[in-house]
Chains A and B, each alone.
Chain A
Amino acid sequence: MSQIIVKDLVKIFGDHPEEALKMLREGCSKSKILEKTRQTVGVFDINFHVNKGEVFVLMGLSGSGKSTLLRCLNRLIEPTSGTIDIDGQDIIKAKPDMLREIRQKKISMVFQGFALFPHRTVLHNVAYGLEIQGVSLEKRREKAAQMLEVVGLQGWEDSMPSQLSGGMQQRVGLARALVNDPDILLMDEAFSALDPLIRKEMQEELLSLQNTMNKTIIFVTHDLDEALRIGDRIALMNDGAIVQTGTAEEILTNPSDDYVEKFVADVDRSKVVTAESVMKAPTPVVSLKDGPRVALRLMKEHGISSIFVVTKDRKLVGIVLVEDLIQMVNEQKENIIDIIHQDIPKVNMDTPIIDIIPIIAETRFPVAVTREDNRLMGILVKGAVLAGMVRKGGMNGSVA
């Protein structure tokens, strides 16, 4: 279910956006608009939706408008035109009182520079959101202390923010944003100011928190690895517009234009591309009732030396090898069940290539890709896996 639906959102910076808006609708370029009207186009033609409980990443280089777009969502920046529906309510039309209520209860924000209040203790920073709602001192202390425990900072309640390391400070920022129990979390380059190791730790922590809390998170970043790691879906922005929206894999395997392709060129694909993208269709296979001659004929047709055996509803049983089959034919035996190797490597559809490589390197069989119910979905062979790491569209006839 979509919790946030953004339609035709435009933000123009300047005192007289009308003319610029008109020119924009006529398809003029940003630089021409700036030259003619002295108005700067922040973001334009923005359309996307975010599902409930999803981590949605806005990614782009600096100046691409991602932070502007994020700030439009809680109206820290007033959009020029368009609609932002949150749970069916257009927040652009919300009156000041209503907007404050939404900011207090529904949407929270985490900032790049942490934005902790330096004159308040850690506890009072976390309690800020409750304080301005008029929650009693005792109650807000209790809730803030609980939240600090969730982010692993118990015992630091009475410290000042400046006494904490960067990672800890951002934990405080996170706790402050979560203390009101908002539905939506806006995170503006939340981990970009942290050093790489701490950043990774925080990303993992966010994901594990997200597992239990199930918030709708909109996360702005310029770091592609970060976007790929934490985003359920990613919107790639360039020059004020969204160029492509999709899952990490969709963007990597099917970049919509040259810009996206260049952007994703340096990605360590082995961490992102999954078994699903590089597997072959699971043909041919033999079923349990088939005899060795059927199996041998199929193998000859396809030029392969082993073949998977499945049940009637295509659940994986194991694999048979050509040498065993030949011996069987020679011995005039009919039931292939005796020669099936059941102890074979299996991976899931969403296993990334980086985890597949060691498996594929150690086995002499092809690797089976199965679903949770053990149904055979595809087959991995060395060549296709390697290809998936280096070029776009590594889909060698995947099963749709």
Chain B
Amino acid sequence: MVVLPKIPIGLWVEIIVEWAQDNLGVVFDLVTRMIEKTVTVIEQATLSVHPIVVVILVFALVWFLTNWKTALGTAFGLYLIYNMELWKASVETLSLVIVATVLALLMGVPLGILTTRSNLVHKITMPILDLMQTMPSFVYLIPAVLFFGLGQVPGLIATVVFAMPPCIRLTGLGIRQVPVELVEAATAFGSTEWQKLTKVQIPLALPTIMAGINQCIMLSLSMVVIAAMIGAGGLGSEVLAGISRLDIAKGFEGGLAIVIMAMILDRITQSYGEKRKIKQV
């Protein structure tokens, strides 16, 4: 039997990661500081007011964005978190989710648009997205720690990488689903590429893009919890502590808080998308 030599894929990746660590340290430091600062500002701002005030403000916001039923549910959920004494951890998680989502959208939406405008970009991006989505999420944590050390930032970076693919995919899908005749019409009236994109394609793709944003938020939330393993803090640490101490009560309460946050974020983003759809009809 011929024994084929083992291909050292793992070793190669390791070499690349080490090289980046040695040579791109300055860049990683800069990114770390910027992200840390942003997350801290959001966190501090939220924690500086009394939780009840936040609950009322969020209630008003959700009512404005969706309807009173969702708003009432949201307020109740938030109060429950406060009551379980998980307020600080939840705010930490929420700050991470917000920053991670914003970063993922800032990169994901333009990239998604790009995949519709160039076949080459599309062909290169799709297998990478497949890889990003199927790779077990824990694996991202390893290079993240090597580049950014322990703490919130590596957790956040891993979250962004994990949450971005659906945003890219659904943005691309939404734009490709705009009927050809409408794009033709826009062209026939002499629109520039930019006008076509901003006046026709993006507005019509918006419901699908919103679904992508919704997915992005949900994935951020799930990843932020996993990222607690490398010290990202927040509700994830509560759950982790529950597991390591076999503390059922602590673990369940942490888990419940995560579910509540997920539901709130989901309802807000979904009903916003639906409201737009109804307006169109």
Which residues of A are at the interface with B, using a C-beta cutoff of 8 A? 71, 74, 76, 99-105, 107-109, 111-113, 115, 117-119, 128-129, 131-133, 160, 162, 176, 180, 186
The answer, among B182, B184, B190, B203, for a CB contact under 8 Å with A132, is: B190
The count of A-to-B residue pairs whose CB atoms sit within 8 angstroms is 66
CB of A103 within 8 A of CB of B185, answer no
Q: Is B181 an interface residue (CB 8 A)?
A: yes
A132–B188 CA distance with the chains assembled, in angstroms: 12
- Whether B189 lies near A115 (C-beta < 8 A) is no
A101 to chain B: which residues have CB within 8 Å? 190
Given A119-B203, A119-B204, A162-B280; A108-B189 close (CB under 8 Å) = yes
Docked complex Cα distance between A366 and B110 (Å): 78
Q: List 23 A-B contacts (CB under 8 A).
A: A74-B188, A76-B187, A99-B190, A100-B190, A101-B190, A104-B189, A108-B189, A111-B184, A111-B185, A112-B181, A115-B181, A117-B182, A117-B186, A117-B200, A118-B280, A119-B203, A128-B186, A128-B189, A128-B199, A129-B189, A132-B190, A133-B190, A180-B189
Judged by a CB distance under 8 angstroms, whether B281 is at the interface is yes
**Is the CB of B195 closer than 8 A to any CB of chain A?**
yes
State the CA gap A105–B190 with chains docked (Å): 8
Cα distance A180–B204 in the bound complex, in angstroms = 24
B48 interfacial by beta-carbon distance below 8 Å: no
Question: What is the bound-complex CA distance between A130 and B191, given in angstroms?
Answer: 10
Binary interface encoding of chain B residues 252-281 relative to chain A, with 1 for a CB under 8 A from any of its CBs, else 0: 000000000000000000000000000011
Q: Output the least CB separation between A233 and chain B (Å).
A: 24
B202-224 contact mask (Cβ, 8 Å, vs A): 1 or 0: 01100000000000000000000
Chain B residues whose CB sits within 8 angstroms of the CB of A74 once the complex forms: 188
In the assembled complex, the Cα of A162 lies from the Cα of B279 at a distance in Å of: 11
B204–A108 CB distance below 8 A? no
Q: Is the CB of B181 within 8 A of A132?
A: no
Q: With A and B bound together, what is the CA distance between A343 and B243 in angstroms?
A: 110
- In the bound complex, do residue A132 and residue B187 qualify as a contact, i.e. CB atoms below 8 Å apart? no
CB closest residue in chain B, given A118: B280
A76, A104, A107, A132 — most chain B CB neighbours (10 Å)? A132
Partner of B188, one of A109, A117, A118: A109
B192 within 8 A of A: yes
- B185 CB to closest chain A CB (Å) equals 4
| CB-based contact B281/A132 at 8 Å | no
Q: Which one of A101, A107, A115, A133 has the highest number of Cβ atoms from chain B below 10 Å of its Cβ?
A: A115
Apart from A105-B190, A118-B204: 19 A-B pairs, beta carbons within 8 A: A76-B187, A99-B190, A100-B191, A100-B192, A103-B188, A104-B190, A108-B188, A109-B188, A109-B189, A111-B181, A111-B184, A113-B179, A117-B199, A119-B204, A128-B199, A131-B199, A132-B199, A180-B189, A186-B188
Instruction: Determine the residue in chain B with the shortest Cβ distance to A131.
Output: B199
Query: In the complex, which of the residues A118, A119, A128, A132 contacts B192, with contact meaning CB atoms closer than 8 Å?
Result: A132
Q: Is the CB of A132 within 8 A of B185?
A: no
Q: Which residue of B lies closest to A106 (CB)?
A: B190
A390 to chain B, nearest CB (A): 42
- CB-CB under 8 A from A99, the residues of chain B are 190
Taking CB as reference atom, which chain A residue is nearest B181? A115
User: Taking the nearest CB of chain A, how far is it from the CB of B106, in angstroms?
Assistant: 24
Q: Shortest CB–CB separation between residue B155 and chain A, in angstroms?
A: 38
> Per-position contact with A for B87-128: 1 when CB-CB < 8 Å, else 0?
000000000000000000000000000000000000000000
Give 1 or 0 for each of B153-184: 1 = CB within 8 Å of chain A CB.
00000000000000000000000000101101
CB distance from B194 to the nearest CB of A (A): 10
Residues of B within 8 A of A107 (CB): 188
Given contact pairs A118-B280, A119-B203, A113 touches B188 in the complex (Cβ within 8 A) = no
Residues of A within 8 A of B185 (CB): 109, 111, 115, 117
Closest 3 CB pairs of A and B: A104-B190, A103-B190, A115-B185
**Who on chain B is nearest to A180 by CB?**
B189
State the Cβ distance, B139 to closest chain A Cβ, in Å.
40
Cβ-closest chain A residue relative to B200: A117
Q: How far is the CA of A111 from the CA of B186 in the complex (A)?
A: 11
Nearest-neighbor residue (CB-CB) of A133 within chain B: B190
On whether the beta carbons of B181 and A113 are closer than 8 Å, the reply is: yes
With a cutoff of 8 Å between Cβ atoms, the chain B residues found around residue A117 in the complex are 182, 185-186, 199-200, 204
Given A76-B184, A115-B182, also A132-B189 (CB < 8 A): yes
